[in-house]
């Protein structure tokens, strides 16, 4: 049986809540979703899009140890009654943070934050015990949930932080109080809400405001907004600043990197020491990711050689550049599923993976969904995808969403196979087009729906395809 993560008395002390009844139960986890709740979890009845109090009976039926609630009359079982459940979750997070010995790392950025977070977790686990955000739990409930799940005896922990508006990362970083804060890159994302690239840089830099005394600020040396990030870091509690990238003065500098279908190899200068490294995941963007990982790991007390060893064992996750070999007729085609989300920078990086992938005897096919929240420059940013499509030697393009219309208007008719306002409407044309030997790259903003196409391709649910 797993060791208890929370006792009733600790949870009550953390939240100043009332135990009903006064039984000293123990919980081995914390959950906000009855669909993924495990027996022994403390169920937190968040009042968000739906009222979690309605699911307390189901949580108890699934074996919850207790429920953190704002009212006790919501069903059977042990209760911890607090004034407001999200604030109760935050209180658990603060208590967990303060009792834990871990070096805490916070990660944000316009691109790469989830991939880098996952890789850092692998690096940290290679040298000790580590804890990390599940999936992309990086918002106002995801970060406190991850903090509340951090074991007290953990060596290192890494928390992903996302945002749509200014002020959100400040709140998350102040809650986590990281010892190390990383910004991966500043790129066009959420422009519609924030208004300018400078505002995006300022919002991401809020991650430095929560830094623990004598903390480390990690950020790119050759980003267009490096000077702005450095200024924000200098006004924080950061005692040290580590810059990474290709710039000559970067403390962690990319000296060499080559990528292909089976991954990339390179050399990194880490505080003046040359370290060779390999990553199994493809894409030119992995040079940048690796530099961020080396910089953050060294700030968290992991030496460069151990980081290089751990990087060699990582892989791309589903929706983030994972490659699948899928049977088709008497052969197969290759799916590159980079469909999790998209902005102009991540689109260009992803298409570089397509370009680095040599089809056995088929074609390079790009299935692209519109990029959202880009503001008034959105048409130009979509048209600008013509260049990375050309650089990747793309043979055929399928486009989804009205935002992609400006790109559809400038692509040659022999390369634009289909343009549809809705991603699901691409299915018939795509199903009949794919042939053995093809390489199919899928990417777009979540709301564009192309992730459903990637899933159906991977699960062979598109129906009859051409047999090639």
The predicted pLDDT at position 462 comes to 46
Tell me how far apart the alpha carbons of residues 451 and 338 are, in angstroms, rounded to a whole number: 8
Q: Are 419 and 399 in contact (CB under 8 A)?
A: yes
- Final residue before a domain boundary, out of 262, 289, 311: 311
Q: Where are the alpha helices (DSSP H) in 357-385?
A: 378-383
Same domain, 248 and 112: yes
The Cβ of residue 196 has, within 10 Å, a number of other Cβ atoms equal to 10
Instruction: Find the helix or strand (DSSP H, E) in which 81 lies.
Output: strand 79-81
Q: Which of 27, 9, 16, 20 is nearest to 77 (CA)?
A: 20
Q: Is residue 300 part of a domain?
A: yes
Tell me how far apart the alpha carbons of residues 456 and 458 are, in angstroms, rounded to a whole number: 5
Q: Is residue 27 part of a domain?
A: yes
Instruction: Find the helix or strand (DSSP H, E) in which 20 lies.
Output: strand 18-20
Q: Are 78 and 19 in contact (CB under 8 A)?
A: yes
Number of domains in the chain: 3
State phi, psi for 311 to the nearest 5 degrees: -60, -35
Same domain, 237 and 333: no
Interstrand relation of 103-108 and 18-20 (parallel, antiparallel or unpaired): unpaired
Left (φ > 0), alpha (ψ -120 to 50) or beta: where does 398 sit? beta
Same domain, 338 and 444: yes
Q: Which of 109, 120, 159 is nearest to 139 (CA)?
A: 159
Decide: helix, strand or coil at residue 446: helix
Q: Where are the alpha helices (DSSP H) in 300-414?
A: 304-311, 344-356, 378-383, 386-391, 405-410
The predicted pLDDT at position 137 comes to 86
The predicted pLDDT at position 466 comes to 40
Same domain, 137 and 117: yes
- In DSSP terms, which residues pair with 263 in a beta bridge? 260
Q: Is residue 58 part of a domain?
A: yes
Same domain, 143 and 79: no
- Final residue before a domain boundary, out of 37, 62, 85: 85
Q: Are 137 and 311 in contact (CB under 8 A)?
A: no
Q: Which long-range contacts (CB under 8 A, 24 or more apart) does 272-278 make?
A: 273/304, 275/304, 275/305, 275/307, 275/308, 276/308, 277/307, 277/308, 277/311, 277/312, 278/308, 278/311, 278/312
Tell me how far apart the alpha carbons of residues 107 and 120 are, in angstroms, rounded to a whole number: 10
Tell me how far apart the alpha carbons of residues 89 and 103 are, in angstroms, rounded to a whole number: 21
Tell me how far apart the alpha carbons of residues 183 and 454 are, in angstroms, rounded to a whole number: 29
Tens digit of pLDDT at every position of the chain (468 positions): 567 999 999 999 999 999 999 999 999 999 999 999 999 999 999 998 889 999 999 999 999 999 999 999 999 999 999 999 999 999 999 999 999 999 999 999 988 888 899 999 999 999 999 999 887 789 999 999 999 999 999 999 999 999 888 899 999 999 999 999 999 999 876 666 777 889 999 999 999 999 999 999 999 999 999 999 999 999 999 999 999 999 999 999 999 999 877 788 999 999 999 999 999 887 788 999 999 999 999 999 999 999 999 999 886 655 567 788 888 877 889 898 888 788 888 888 889 889 888 887 889 999 999 998 888 889 999 999 999 999 999 999 999 999 999 999 999 999 999 999 999 999 889 988 999 999 999 999 888 989 999 888 887 654 434 433
Model pTM? 0.80
List the strands of the sheet with 396-400, edge to edge: 322-328, 331-337, 439-443, 364-369, 396-400, 416-420
Q: Are 27 and 79 in contact (CB under 8 A)?
A: no
- In DSSP terms, which residues pair with 278 in a beta bridge? 265
Q: Is residue 183 part of a domain?
A: yes
Same domain, 109 and 146: yes
Q: How far is CA 271 from the centre of its chain?
A: 27
Q: Is residue 463 part of a domain?
A: no
- For 442, the domain range is 322-458
Same domain, 305 and 443: no
Same domain, 339 and 446: yes
| Residue whose tokens read 């914390």 | 30
Same domain, 127 and 260: yes
Q: Is residue 316 part of a domain?
A: no
Same domain, 115 and 228: yes
Tell me how far apart the alpha carbons of residues 343 and 468 are, in angstroms, rounded to a whole number: 33
Q: What is the CATH number of the domain that holds 18?
A: 3.40.1390.10
Tell me how far apart the alpha carbons of residues 136 and 65 are, in angstroms, rounded to a whole number: 26
Q: Which of 206, 352, 128 is nearest to 219 (CA)?
A: 206
- Final residue before a domain boundary, out of 271, 288, 311: 311
Q: What is the CATH number of the domain that holds 421?
A: 3.90.190.20
| Residue whose tokens read 């490659």 | 323
The predicted pLDDT at position 230 comes to 96
Same domain, 214 and 106: yes
List the strands of the sheet with 29-31, edge to edge: 18-20, 79-81, 66-69, 41-44, 29-31
Q: What is the CATH number of the domain that holds 154?
A: 3.40.1190.10
Tell me how far apart the alpha carbons of residues 445 and 196 are, in angstroms, rounded to a whole number: 19
Q: Is residue 376 part of a domain?
A: yes
Q: Is residue 420 part of a domain?
A: yes
Q: Are 143 and 207 in contact (CB under 8 A)?
A: no
Same domain, 304 and 204: yes
């Amino acid at each position: 049986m797993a060791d208890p993560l929370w006792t009733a008395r600790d949870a009550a002390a953390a939240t100043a809540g009332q135990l009903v009844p006064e039984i000293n139960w123990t919980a081995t986890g914390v959950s906000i979703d009855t669909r993924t709740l495990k027996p022994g979890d403390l169920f937190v009845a968040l009042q968000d899009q739906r009222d979690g109090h309605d699911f307390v009976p189901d949580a108890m039926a699934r074996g919850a140890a207790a429920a953190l609630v704002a009212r006790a009359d919501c069903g059977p079982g042990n209760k911890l009654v607090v004034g407001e459940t999200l604030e109760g979750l935050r209180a658990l997070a603060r208590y967990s943070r303060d009792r834990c010995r871990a070096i805490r790392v916070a990660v944000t950025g316009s691109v790469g934050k989830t991939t880098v977070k996952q890789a850092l977790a692998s690096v940290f686990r290679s040298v000790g015990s580590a804890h990390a955000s599940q999936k992309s739990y990086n918002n106002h409930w995801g970060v406190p949930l991850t903090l509340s799940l951090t074991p007290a005896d953990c060596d290192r922990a890494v928390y992903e932080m996302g945002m749509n508006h200014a002020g959100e990362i400040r709140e998350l970083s102040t809650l986590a109080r990281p010892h190390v804060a990383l910004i991966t890159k500043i790129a066009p994302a959420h422009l519609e809400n924030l208004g300018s690239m400078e505002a995006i840089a300022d919002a991401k830099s809020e991650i430095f405001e929560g830094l623990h005394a004598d903390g480390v600020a990690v950020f790119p040396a050759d980003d267009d907004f490096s000077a702005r990030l450095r200024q924000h870091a200098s006004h924080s509690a950061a005692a040290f600043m580590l810059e990474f990238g290709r710039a000559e003065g970067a403390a962690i500098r990319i000296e060499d990197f080559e990528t292909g279908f089976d991954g990339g190899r390179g050399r990194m200068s880490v505080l003046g020491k040359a370290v060779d490294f390999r990553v199994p995941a493809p894409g030119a963007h992995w040079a940048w990711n690796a530099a961020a990982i080396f910089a953050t790991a060294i700030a968290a007390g992991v030496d460069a050689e151990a980081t290089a060893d751990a990087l060699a064992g990582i892989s791309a996750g589903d929706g983030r550049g994972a490659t699948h070999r899928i049977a088709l007729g008497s052969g197969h085609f290759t799916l590159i599923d980079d469909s999790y989300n998209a902005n102009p920078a991540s689109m260009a990086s992803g298409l570089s993976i397509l370009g680095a992938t040599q089809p056995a005897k088929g074609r390079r096919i790009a299935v692209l969904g519109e990029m959202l929240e880009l503001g008034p420059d959105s048409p130009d940013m979509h048209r600008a995808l013509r260049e990375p499509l050309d650089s990747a030697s793309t043979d055929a393009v399928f486009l989804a969403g009205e935002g992609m219309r400006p790109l559809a208007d400038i692509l040659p008719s022999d390369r634009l196979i289909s343009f549809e306002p809705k991603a699901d409407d691409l299915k018939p044309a795509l199903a009949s087009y794919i042939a053995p030997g093809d390489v199919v790259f899928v990417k777009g903003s979540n709301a564009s729906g192309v992730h459903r196409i990637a899933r159906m391709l991977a699960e062979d649910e598109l129906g009859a395809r051409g047999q090639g």
